Amino acid sequence: MKRIQKIRIRFRITKSIIPNLLTLGNLFSGFSSIIYIAKGEFEIAAILIVIAGVFDMLDGVVARIIGATSEIGVQLDSLCDAVSFGVAPSFLLYSVYFNQIGELGVVIASLPALAGVYRLARFNVTATVEDKFYFKGLPIPGAALYVMSFVIFHYLDPKFPANLKEIGIYIVALSAPLMMISTIKFDNLPRPSWYAIQTHPWNFAISMIGLIAIVSTKGKLLFSFMLLYAVLSLIRAMVPSSKKRL
């Protein structure tokens, strides 16, 4: 008689599973967003991208609180971000406009995803030496909000001037990847702490005012805020200064 060997599968549950599940929530939201874009339900897709951003913020916060940061968590976060904030916004651009211009449209719509993946890879190899108060290049979640907010609140708005829609969507589709792969310093969102208020009071105040304005207008000021964020970062990079910045 043949002996039947019992194979025991053991699952090792560690505290890192909590932030990792939040990270996978980011990926699920991004995947769901792509599904709704394919259905033409763009507003739901946009909400799911925002939800993915919430998961992306929470996984890092929770990992630091419970002391569960890990290398696999960093890599998992980047893979999920590539889908939620790279592929989903690019597919949104393609679905609302760039599918009308053939192969060239595929290329242009893919640029935010391509640049976003490069931006993530660059961040992963420089994260230990980058200034924690700044990001080198626009972070991919910020680029996703920049693209998504223009499409939802301006391009798809019937009240938005028709002659500006086509120009605007080209500018957004091309400027987002350029800002991501640039070496321009973009301010990190200050954490709600007394230390952040003391060291970067203006950044904290502007962030809080922007957040309140965006929430009170149900997101309509999101693109304006993201545009202001980008313009101020560009101005700071272009204006030379011999003084040490705090």
Of the spans 15-29, 135-149, 191-205, which averages the highest pLDDT?
135-149
Tell me if 214 sits within 8 A of 148, measured CB to CB. no
71 and 98 together in one domain: yes
State whether 131 and 154 are in the same domain.
yes
157 pLDDT more than 70: yes
Please tell me the predicted confidence (pLDDT) of residue 1.
46
244 has a pLDDT exceeding 70: no
pLDDT band of residue 18 (cuts 50, 70, 90) is confident
Tell me, yes or no, whether 234 lies in a domain.
no
Quick check: is 6 in a domain?
Answer: no
Report whether pLDDT(176) > 60. yes
Q: Are residues 94 and 168 in the same domain?
A: yes
pLDDT confidence of residue 50: 95
| Residue span of the structural domain in which 67 resides | 17-188
Give Cα 213 to chain centroid, integer Å: 20
Give the number of domains in the chain.
2
For residue 168 the two structure tokens come to 């605007």
Answer whether residue 244 is part of any domain: no
Nearest to 66 by CA among 14, 110, 4: 14
Q: What is the mean pLDDT of residues 156-185?
A: 93
DSSP state of 187: E
- Do 154 and 195 lie in a common domain? no
Residue 246 lies in a domain: no
Question: Using one digit for the tens of pLDDT, what is the confidence trace for 100-148?
Answer: 999 999 999 999 999 999 999 998 887 654 446 778 899 999 999 999 9
Mean pLDDT of the chain: 85
Identify the band that residue 241 occupies on the pLDDT scale cut at 50, 70 and 90: low
Q: Who wins on pLDDT, 168 or 197?
A: 168
In this prediction, residues 146-166 reach a mean pLDDT of 93
Question: Quick one: 91 exposed, middle or buried, by C-beta within 10 A (0-12, 13-18, 19+)?
Answer: buried
Tell me if the pTM is above 0.75: yes
Angstrom CA distances, 101 to 166, 181, 233, stand at: 12, 25, 32
Q: Cα–Cα distances in Å, from 84 out to 70, 142, 164, 185?
A: 21, 12, 27, 23
Kindly list the distances between the CA atom of residue 52 and the CA atoms of 48, 86, 207, in Å, as whole numbers in the listed order: 6, 12, 20
- Percent above pLDDT 90 for the chain: 52
Confidence of residue 200 (pLDDT cuts 50, 70, 90): low
**Pair (54, 138) in one structural domain:** yes
For residues 46-58, average pLDDT: 94
Question: pLDDT digit string (tens) for 71-85?
Answer: 888 889 999 999 999
Are residues 82 and 137 located together in one domain of the fold? yes
In terms of domains, do 155 and 195 share one?
no
> What pLDDT was estimated at residue 212?
85
pLDDT at residue 92 is higher than 90: yes
Helices (H) and strands (E) in the chain, counts: 10, 2
**Do residue 95 and residue 75 come from a single domain?**
yes
